Structure formats: structure tokens, C-alpha cells
């Protein structure tokens, strides 16, 4: 199961305003790729283009060598899945039924849900460790659990490429870190994951590659520790942050001390000296 999504020279304009102006991006099996960019940089637009929800004004998007526009929707849905930001449904569908929606591309609109569909849904629930939530209403579980249910739905689709819109958005600190670990595990199992994020720390923790979207282009693409530098962060977010290397070699960003003076009597800490 090896899959690659490749975008070349994508251009897109909305109401006369150029949103994307020559974007090159790719994501393949076995990697977690983070898409970083300021608010309004066009991250969501890019995701919608990659999912085939919008048509680019120019450029090409290929899935394993075939233009996605040439792949019928149902077949595309079995190979490329969208995991939206956590949301609340107006109706209390059971978690199992939400995951079973991932079988729509297999069973068809009015097709019957068969034993193989139920097995796929159960396997996805088990894979994410939420089989105990199967009979709970989707509206009554926590945000972190809802995000897991949406990922389970993507797995039930049978897709090996997952496009995720801010998967850590709205999750508490612990769930954010657990989710990042889960994405890393999925990549190790051969899934390819493209996600947007607003947290450089989430990029450093668990992404194989980061792509920086700015002024409608990918201005940098590579290993997070090489790409995320103090000047880049300043130009991207207009804030000054200091990179610190931990004892075990990992990189973290801390706000520059001049911007957030420590309150009187607060003990000074030096991340570079702290034990891992």
C-alpha cells in the first residue's frame, strides 16, 4: 500500500483575489507532513483543492500518477480521506454509525451495509482504541473522542492518504499530544498524512516534513528542525521566538524573553540546561 498525492504549480483565485500562486506539494505513504501558515494564508483552500472539492485555475493534482479530476468520486473516496476539524452534529448519531459512513464509497448511496462493511468499521474503531464508544451518541463524547471517531471513519473508507484540517484544534493538551503520537504511529503503518496546524511545536513533535505556505506559495519544504528557524518564524507570524535545543537534541521554541518579561520572583529557567 503505497500512495502519493502530488500537486504541481497550483493556482487558485477567488473573487479576483489570488489565493494560491504556484503551489508545489506532495505527501506519500509513511510520512506526516504539516502545513504551516498564518491565518488567511490559504491553508484550507489548498486542502480543499487537494481533496478535489475546488477546481484549480491552473496546475495539476495527481493521485498515484492519475489526475484526481479524472477519478470518480466514489473511487477517490476509497483512497483519499478527509478528516475535518472536530464538529458537533445536530443529530445524535451513534459513533458506530458515524464510522460506518466511511463505507458509503463502498456500499453506494442506497446500497446495503453488509458484514464486510461492519467488519471494516469495527476494525477501525479497534485500531483507534475507541470500540467502547461504538454505541455512544457522537454528540455526547468529548472533542478528543470525536476526533478519533472521524479518523476511524477515514480508516473505514480504506483510504491510505488522510488530509486533516487542524486535527489538534479544540483538543486539550493531553489529547493534542496523544493525537500527534497516533498520527506518527499511523504513518509508521504506511499511512500518508497531510495536516494543517497553527502550532510550530506540533510540527517539531512528530512531523517528518513541514511545508510553509506564505503569499500563495510554498516558500519552504523540508525537515522541521531545518526549516523552522528564528527568522522564518518572525517573517511568518511577526513574533520573536527563540529556538532551544534540549539535552536529547530535540528542538523547542520559546517566546523571546524581551517580549514576555518574567514576573518578579519567578524562577529563571533555561530550557537548554533542563533535563529531558
Partner 1 sequence: MSLSRHPLLPLLGLPALLGAAMLAALSIGRYPLPVDDILRLLGAALGWRPLPPEEFEVLYNLVVRIRLPRVLAAVLVGAALASSGAAFQAVFRNPLVSPGLLGVLAGAAFGAALGILLSLDWLQVQALAFAMGVAAVAIGVGIATLFGGGAIVMLVLGGIVSAALFSSLLSMVKYVADPYNQLPAIVYWLMGSLAVADLTQVGSLALPIGGGVLLLSALGRALDALSMGDDEARTLGVPVRAVRYTVIAAATLVSALTVSLAGMIGWVGLIVPHIARLLVGPGNSRLLPTSAGLGALFLLGADSLSRTWSTTEIPIGIVTELIGIPVFLLVLGRARKAWA
Among 84-92, 168-176, 229-237, 253-261, which window interacts with partner 1 (CB under 8 A)? 84-92
Stretch that binds partner 1, among 9-17, 95-103, 223-231, 232-240 (CB under 8 A): 95-103
Least separation in angstroms between residue 97's CB and partner 1 is 5
Cβ nearer to partner 1, comparing 109 with 258: 109
Q: What is the dihedral of CA 99, 100, 105, 106, to 10 degrees?
A: 130
User: What residues between 182 and 221 interact with partner 1 by CB under 8 A?
Assistant: none
The neighbouring-strand residues paired with 81 are 162
Does position 15 interact with partner 1 (CB under 8 A)? The reply is: no
Considering only residues 131 through 190, tell me which ones interact with partner 1, judged by CB under 8 A: 137, 139-140, 157
Local structure of residue 131 (DSSP, 8 states): G
Cα angle 130, 133, 138 (rounded to 5 degrees) comes to 115
The β-bridge partners of 26 are 6
Residue 140, helix vs strand vs coil? helix
Beta carbons of 7 and 60 less than 8 angstroms apart = yes
Q: Can residue 94 be called a binding residue for partner 1 (CB under 8 A)?
A: yes
105, 74 in Cβ contact below 8 A?
yes
Indicate the residue among 25 and 156 with the shorter CB distance to partner 1.
Answer: 156
Q: What is the spatial distance between Cα 179 and Cα 167, in angstroms, rounded to a whole number? A: 8
* Interface size with partner 1, residues (CB under 8 A): 33
Q: Which of 214, 183, 184, 211 is nearest to 196 (CA)?
A: 211
Is 56 a binding residue for partner 1 by CB under 8 A? The answer is: no
For residue 51, which of 17, 31, 27 has the smallest C-alpha distance?
Answer: 27
CA dist 99 and 131 (Å) reads 11
| Minimum distance of partner 1 from residue 146's CB (angstroms) | 11
Is residue 104 at the binding interface for partner 1, with CB under 8 A as the rule?
Answer: yes
> Which of residues 17 and 270 has its CB atom nearest to partner 1 in the complex?
17
What is the Cα–Cα distance from 20 to 9, expressed in whole angstroms? 9
Q: How far is the CB of 135 from partner 1 (least distance, A)?
A: 9
Residue 162, SS3?
strand
Q: For partner 1, which residue of 37, 42, 105, 144 counts as binding (CB under 8 A)?
A: 105
Select the residue interacting with partner 1 from 2, 14, 60, 89 (CB under 8 A).
89
Residue 82 is a binding residue for partner 1 (CB under 8 A): yes
51 binds partner 1, rule: CB under 8 A: yes
92 touching partner 1, by CB under 8 A: yes
Query: Rounded to whole angstroms, how far apart are CA atoms 208 and 32?
Result: 5
Should residue 90 be labelled a site residue for partner 1 when binding is judged by CB under 8 A? yes
User: Which spans of this chain sit near partner 1 (rule: CB under 8 A)?
Assistant: 48, 51-53, 73-74, 76-77, 80-82, 84, 87, 89-94, 97-98, 101-102, 104-105, 107, 109-110, 113, 137, 139-140, 157
Amino acid at each position: 500500500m503505497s500512495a502519493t498525492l502530488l500537486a504541481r504549480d497550483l493556482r487558485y483565485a477567488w473573487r479576483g483575489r489570488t489565493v494560491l500562486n504556484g503551489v508545489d506539494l506532495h505527501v506519500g505513504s509513511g510520512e506526516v507532513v504539516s502545513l504551516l501558515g498564518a491565518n488567511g494564508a490559504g491553508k484550507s483552500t489548498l486542502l480543499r483543492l487537494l481533496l478535489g472539492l475546488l477546481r484549480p485555475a491552473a496546475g495539476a493534482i495527481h493521485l498515484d500518477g492519475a489526475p484526481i479530476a479524472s477519478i470518480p468520486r466514489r473511487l477517490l473516496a476509497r483512497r483519499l480521506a478527509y478528516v475535518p476539524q472536530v464538529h458537533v452534529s445536530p443529530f445524535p448519531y451513534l459513533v458506530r454509525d458515524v464510522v460506518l459512513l466511511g463505507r458509503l464509497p463502498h456500499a453506494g448511496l442506497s446500497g446495503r451495509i453488509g458484514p464486510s462493511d461492519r467488519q471494516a468499521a469495527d476494525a477501525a474503531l479497534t485500531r483507534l482504541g475507541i470500540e467502547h464508544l461504538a454505541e455512544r451518541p457522537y454528540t455526547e463524547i468529548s472533542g478528543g473522542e470525536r476526533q478519533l471517531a472521524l479518523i476511524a471513519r477515514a480508516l473505514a473508507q480504506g483510504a491510505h492518504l488522510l488530509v486533516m484540517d487542524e486535527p489538534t484544534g479544540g483538543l486539550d493538551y493531553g489529547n493534542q499530544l496523544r493525537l500527534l503520537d497516533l498520527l506518527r504511529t499511523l504513518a509508521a503503518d504506511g499511512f500518508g498524512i497531510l495536516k494543517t496546524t497553527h502550532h510550530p511545536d506540533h510540527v517539531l513533535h512528530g512531523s517528518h516534513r513541514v511545508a510553509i505556505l506564505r503569499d500563495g506559495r510554498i516558500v519552504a519544504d523540508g525537515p522541521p528542525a531545518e526549516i523552522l528557524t528564528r527568522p522564518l518564524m518572525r517573517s511568518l507570524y511577526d513574533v520573536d521566538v527563540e529556538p532551544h535545543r534540549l539535552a536529547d537534541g530535540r528542538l523547542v521554541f520559546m517566546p523571546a524573553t524581551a517580549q514576555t518579561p518574567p514576573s518578579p520572583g519567578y524562577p529563571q529557567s533555561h530550557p537548554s540546561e533542563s533535563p529531558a
